[in-house]
Amino acid sequence: MIRVAPSLLAADFADLKQELNSISDADLLHVDIMDGVFVPNIAIGVPVTQSVAKIAPMPLDVHLMITRPEEYIEQFAKAGAEIITFHVESNCDIDACIAKIKACGKKPGLVVNPATGLEEVLPRLKDLYMVLIMTVQPGFGGQKCKEECFEKVAALRKEIDRQGLSVHIEVDGGITAENAPRAVAAGADILVAGSSVFGAKDRNEAIARLKGN
């Protein structure tokens, strides 16, 4: 099953209720947390996540692009996140962060930037709900997808299958109805889409197109 997670970053923040209504067919809501340190941009914090969680009918997929993720995991869990992902590049104790997310009753995911290999991910697959393969350098929506990252998706899917696990693979950055089939063919099963969903007139139609319908 392919799931689509529209990225809130591309929504109209002055009208979030209406924006959420317009993506009623979405499987997850991707929430980008940026601290202006780990990435050169600031976006969305705990209060907005909490308000959105109250009105969003779909589970929240919270993508932490922050330093010291261990200090914020609990707050985002309490705010209503269902999935919490953090970057292997964030210089944290990866295993401690995974354990913390699980202790909060949430689903953990590891994120790797386009230039980062799978070394930190592969030994931990059995502890993860999901791996997020970035297909752009994180920080901003609306960038062009680096399709060479799909090779990493394929290698990861091969290893997940070899180990007989059911870890999900999410791709994030510049995903469109045009390149989505190649991401899915490589083994991705969760597609984050900011511009290609919120930039469309009919958002649910854009979601269907991403799924190949």
Active-site positions read 32, 172
- Tokens in use for 75? 């707050």
Q: SS3 sequence, 142-186?
A: CCCCCHHHHHHHHHHHHHHHHCCCCCEEEEECCCCCCCHHHHHHH
Of residues 5 and 77, the one with the C-beta less far from ligand DX5? 5
**CB of 63 or CB of 87, closer to Zn ion:** 63
- Which of 19, 27, 32, 189 binds Zn ion (CB under 5 A)? It is 32
Give least dist CB 207 to Zn ion, A.
17
Q: Which of 147, 143, 155, 158 is nearest to 196 (CA)?
A: 143
Q: Pinpoint the alpha helices (H) of the chain.
A: 16-21, 46-55, 73-79, 94-103, 150-162, 180-186, 195-198, 203-210
Query: Binding to ligand DX5 by residue 61, rule CB under 6 A?
Result: no
Q: Which of 195, 204, 208, 211 binds ligand DX5 (CB under 6 A)?
A: 195
Q: How many residues in the chain?
A: 213
Interface with ligand DX5, residue 75, by CB under 6 A: no
- 132 - beta bridge partners? 111, 170
Q: Tell whether residue 173 is a contact of ligand DX5 (CB under 6 A).
A: yes
Among the listed residues 63, 87, 100, 106, the single contact to Zn ion using CB under 5 A: 63
Q: Looking at beta carbons only, is 32 or 189 nearer to Zn ion?
A: 32
172 contacts Zn ion (rule: CB under 5 A): yes
Q: Record the tokens describing residue 20, joined without a space.
A: 């959420």
What residues make contact with ligand DX5 under the rule CB under 6 A?
A: 7, 9-10, 30, 32, 63, 136, 138-143, 172-175, 192-196
Chain residues in the site for Zn ion (CB under 5 A): 32, 63, 172
